[in-house]
Structure 1
Amino acid sequence: MRVSHRVQPVFDDPNLVGYAGLVPALALAESAGLHELLGEQLSVESPNAVVKSVGVVAGMLAGADSIDDLDRLRHGGMDKLFDGIRAPSTYGSFLRSFTHGHVKQLDAVSSRLLARLTARAPGLLGGGTDPEGIGFVDLDDTIRQVHGYAKQAAAYGYNKTYGLNAMLAVISTPLAAPVIVASSLRKGNTASGKGSAAMLTRAVTTARKAGVTARLLGRADSAFYRHDLVAAMVKAGMWFSVTVRLNKAVTGAITRIPEEAWTPIQYPNAVWENDPSLPEGGYWVSDAEVAETCFVAFSSKKKAHRIRCRLVVRRVRRLQPKASDGTVQGELFAAYRHHGFITNSTLSTVAADQHHRGHAIIEQVIAELKDGPLAHLPSGKYTANAAWLAYAVTAFNLSRALGVLAGKRHARARAATIRDELIQLPGRIANHARNQIVHLPTDWPWEHAWQQMFDHTTRPPPALAA
């Protein structure tokens, strides 16, 4: 491909827009009750707070990752399609007017909006309404790096990075991609698991309000191996699956597992060996094996607070370093890396391990946020950045609902894919019989998905959830 003619660029068309996909996106937000929820819940002392809030969310949907980047909404004919577009300086002043209480109000808006989005896009939590099904609640945190000493609450965190700590809780099912059900911005040096029990309770409440009736399995890594979190999962009637730290109690339990108890599992580079003599028809040839044993977690606590559960362990053979001639020295004793987690589920050992490894799905959500609105924490004020995270959660869940409405191809697509294929769509505005017509590119590869999304979002909404 090459340029076929001499091109002369001229920025002179007032009827062009670069984000035609914001029309169905904001139509979905409005029909799901975002404006009403903001009007009811948000009490920040700023004129037109609802309009400004929706503007921030719209900018994030379009790809804005900083306050200045919200200026991308002010071009061409955008003011003909949308009312209330503001300058970045106005959005910045608005965000800096937030207090901690106002951020909590945004969290409440996001929680209620998710319930309403599931009514507009039933597949958003597909399988979650099956009482016999399963839903996964994952918790994790990340350090978002910042620069300069004017950033309030910034500090060096566990990974030696100077920044702020964001903790998230997401819910997913075997049929549905994850949506965010709770979030919190903390000081940069906050311990990962601090406050996780309260966040777990918030997440479960939001999931239930969104119509999830399936059994919930809470998953977390070893940084969240805490009694209060596991106890909160038990209190909520959940299964838990939490990675343990390899302390003396855990290593002692692992050493007591008999060698014949280890079962090979499907793992990267595993090979299936057919064997008709076995009930399963064969077995996996793999360097990874699993086994389990009974375990009492948090044995240093009072007897009433100890948790009896299963300790499931996966071991992976350590790769031996090559010698200078490229050969590998033979092993006298096999050496393994052990990864253990506690669980109270009734799943088989292999199934429990497979579900636990699925916890990595929250890492993808964090990566998507960092590739979008959380590329920066744009303000020097802590509460402004906390509000920015809350708006990012709303934008993420909206984009996930748009993908579901667009059809199977986009139902589990990443936020960047939805943004590139469904939102960042150029259009030209034309007036006809007092109606605005948006002319879109011919042969757009995702035309059918976009039209399907548009048709769904412009239909009369069903009765909204309370």
Structure 2
Amino acid sequence: MVAQAIGTARAAGASGPILVRGDSAYGNRAVVQTCLRAGAQFSLVMTRNPAVDRAINAIEETSWTPVSYPGAVRDPDTGGWISDAEVAEIPYTAFASTPDRITARLVVRRVKDARYRDALFPVWRYHPFFTNTDLPIADADITHRHHAIIETVFADLIDGPLAHIPSGRFGANSAWVLCAAIAHNLLRAAGVLAGERHTRARGSTLRRKIINIAARLARPQRRPILHLPAHWPWVDHWLTLWRNTIGHSPPATTTF
């Protein structure tokens, strides 16, 4: 899957560096070797094990650097929001007992455990990832965290068409997923064309405010007229979408 994704990116015209980011499910030697063979960089979460813990414990206390995130991120352990942390790095040889051993950077992010606010000494939680990028340590951590952006897309799809897969047949489900992706892209484009907060709104919000409206289509003298609700709070956004897609203002006979 990783090799295919890298190949597709190259075929689509991506000529710059490609970075493969992933959680602990992808922090294995098969993925790392695939990235190296394809000429891609990697930034992968490492599962905590004795070797990783020894590397973390070997980091000098003076090596930790504060990092502030552009936006708050959700803590994977507590579910709370955090906006700052400390990061450090140390050389680490992964898969040391295999022929695919590789030495790269083990970047570790640590945050104070909010469950021990009154502790005499700070209690830290550590989150390591393995990378061969040459980014400064704070930038490497911020870049690695960007992989979570895709989760908003997953949430939108699961909240919509992927809430129910319609068939037990693989072919039918593949067609359904393809249609879901097309619908998602069209919905996001409609949100951008509607402007303002709709450019970042969730799919359910766009469906409620822009798509699923109580409108009535009439055809007096075979001329289609769309009658929209009176005192509709999102009329300006819908008209913006109309103008950006149709190219002109609705006729004066359209009512709200």
- Fold similarity call, TM over 0.5: yes
Q: Which residue of 1 aligns with 2:113?
A: 318
Q: Do the aligned residues in 2 keep the contact of 1:291 with 1:312 (CA within 8 Å)? A: yes
- Paired with 1:351 and 1:399, the residues of 2 have a C-alpha distance of 32
**Larger relative helix fraction:** 2
Q: Which residue of 2 aligns with 1:200?
A: 5
Find the partner of 2:161 among 346, 349, 373. 373
Q: Which residue of 2 aligns with 1:347?
A: 135
Q: RCO greater where, 1 or 2, for CA within 8 Å and sep 6 or more?
A: 1
Secondary structure, counterpart of 1:429 in structure 2 = strand
Q: 1:290 to 1:321 in 2, by over 3 A?
A: closer
Q: Which residue of 2 aligns with 1:390?
A: 178
Identity of aligned residues (%): 44
Q: 1:199 to 1:374 in 2, by over 3 A?
A: farther
Q: Which residue of 2 aligns with 1:223?
A: 25
Q: 1:204 to 1:232 in 2, by over 3 A?
A: farther
Find the partner of 1:297 among 94, 106, 110. 94
Q: Which residue of 2 aligns with 1:405?
A: 193
- Which consecutive unaligned segments of at least 5 residues does structure 2 have? 74-82, 248-256
The answer to whether structure 1 residue 436 and structure 2 residue 231 are counterparts is no
Q: Which residue of 1 aligns with 2:76?
A: none
Q: Which residue of 1 aligns with 2:237?
A: 449
Q: 1:321 to 1:255 in 2, by over 3 A?
A: closer
Q: Do the aligned residues in 1 keep the contact of 2:44 with 2:130 (CA within 8 Å)? A: yes
The two structures have a TM-score, normalised by structure 1, of 0.45
Secondary structure, counterpart of 1:453 in structure 2 = helix
Q: How does 1:195-344 map to 2 (within 5 A)?
A: 196-198=1-3, 200-201=5-6, 204-205=9-10, 209=12, 215-266=17-68, 288-302=85-99, 305-319=100-114, 328=118, 330-331=120-121, 334-344=122-132
- Paired with 1:287 and 1:453, the residues of 2 have a C-alpha distance of 38
Secondary structure, counterpart of 2:181 in structure 1 = helix
Q: 1:443 to 1:201 in 2, by over 3 A?
A: same
Secondary structure, counterpart of 1:380 in structure 2 = coil
Q: 1:454 to 1:219 in 2, by over 3 A?
A: same
Secondary structure, counterpart of 1:266 in structure 2 = strand
Q: Deviations over 1:355-399 (max 9, x none)?
A: 222322222222211211121223233433333223212211221
Q: 1:321 to 1:336 in 2, by over 3 A?
A: closer
Tell me the CA shift for residue 351 of structure 1. Answer: 1.7
Q: Which residue of 2 aligns with 1:361?
A: 149
Note the aligned Cα RMSD (angstroms): 3.0
- The letter for the 2-side match of 1:295 is Y
Q: 1:433 to 1:217 in 2, by over 3 A?
A: farther
Aligned length: 236
- The letter for the 2-side match of 1:342 is F
Secondary structure, counterpart of 2:217 in structure 1 = strand
Secondary structure, counterpart of 1:231 in structure 2 = helix
Secondary structure, counterpart of 2:226 in structure 1 = strand
- The letter for the 2-side match of 1:316 is V
Q: 1:246 to 1:423 in 2, by over 3 A?
A: same
Q: How does 1:117-266 map to 2 (within 5 A)?
A: 196-198=1-3, 200-201=5-6, 204-205=9-10, 209=12, 215-266=17-68
Q: Do the aligned residues in 2 keep the contact of 1:197 with 1:228 (CA within 8 Å)? A: no
Q: Deviations over 1:179-216 (max 9, x none)?
A: xxxxxxxxxxxxxxxxx4245336625xx63x666654
- Which consecutive unaligned segments of at least 5 residues does structure 1 have? 1-195, 270-285, 323-327, 460-466
